[in-house]
């Protein structure tokens, strides 16, 4: 089974993020869920992003990198929204990555040093009318990734909700979330196996 490092979104480590990770565990996988906000959980996304900005997005990413350091190299990195930044960075730059799951955000691969690494499969999930994902360029970055990376998939869900997979938030969409969980678990089952050779010298 896969070992997954899960990074929460801008509200913080909510009960919904914990439950998503628990669904992965019930499917037989190992899920690690570090708290990048050091115990803070915010009712509004604006407050949470404000905290991240005042703390420094670089500091948040450093906390995520520190969480990975004590774990095996052969991880799948999963991020929700804000958590996609460290998940994508580690998937692209930390040797040994088994895959990446980017939920409701995606940035151009060039942000982290160039093309997506060959041999690291990736899925991107988001709603097609989400003002953050669809309206701020993330879906365009995801489409570019699918066009250039050999093992990349984009799943779009009908709706305009951001953080639709978090069952503790008003934005939760039960049907879309269930679909996303199934696809994520299928992905984890698929990437489980012998560790591939390090692909860093062979950009996609």
Does residue 179 lie within any of the structural domains? yes
Question: Is residue 139 within 8 Å of 133, Cβ to Cβ?
Answer: yes
pTM value is 0.92
Question: What mean pLDDT is predicted for residues 104-114?
Answer: 92
Does residue 199 lie within any of the structural domains? no
Does residue 201 lie within any of the structural domains? no
Does residue 180 lie within any of the structural domains? yes
The residues, ordered by sequence, that sit 6+ positions from 127 with a Cβ below 8 Å of its Cβ are 104, 133, 134, 156, 157, 158, 159, 160, 161, 162, 164, 173, 176
pLDDT of the residue at 36: 96
Per the structure, how many domains does the chain have? 1
Does residue 198 lie within any of the structural domains? no
Does residue 146 lie within any of the structural domains? yes
How far apart are alpha carbons 119 and 203 in whole angstroms?
A: 9
Does residue 8 lie within any of the structural domains? yes
155 token code pair: 């799943």
CATH code of 141's domain? 3.40.50.1820
Question: How many CB atoms are closer than 10 A to CB 50?
Answer: 13
Cα within 13 Å of Cα(165), Cβ side: 29
Domain region containing 33: 3-191
Question: What mean pLDDT is predicted for residues 135-157?
Answer: 94
Does residue 18 lie within any of the structural domains? yes
Mean pLDDT over each residue of the chain, to the nearest integer: 92
């Amino acid at each position: 089974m896969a070992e997954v490092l899960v990074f929460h979104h801008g509200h913080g480590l909510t009960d919904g993020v914990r439950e998503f990770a628990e669904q992965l565990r019930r499917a037989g996988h190992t899920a690690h869920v570090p708290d990048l906000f050091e115990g803070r959980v915010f009712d509004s996304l604006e407050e949470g992003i404000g905290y991240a900005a005042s703390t420094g997005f670089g500091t948040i990413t450093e906390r995520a990198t520190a969480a990975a350091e004590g774990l095996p190299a052969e991880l799948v990195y999963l991020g929700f929204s804000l958590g996609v930044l460290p998940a994508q960075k580690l998937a692209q730059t930390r040797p040994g990555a088994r895959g990446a799951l980017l939920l409701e955000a995606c940035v151009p691969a060039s942000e982290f040093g160039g093309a997506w690494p060959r041999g690291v499969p990736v899925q991107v999930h988001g709603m097609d009318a989400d003002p953050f994902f669809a309206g701020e360029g993330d879906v365009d970055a995801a489409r570019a990734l699918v066009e250039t990376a050999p093992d990349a998939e984009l799943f779009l869900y009908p709706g305009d909700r951001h953080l639709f997979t978090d069952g503790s938030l008003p934005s939760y969409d039960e049907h879309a979330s269930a679909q996303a969980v199934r696809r994520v678990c299928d992905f984890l089952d698929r990437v489980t196996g012998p560790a591939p050779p390090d692909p860093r010298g062979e950009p996609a």
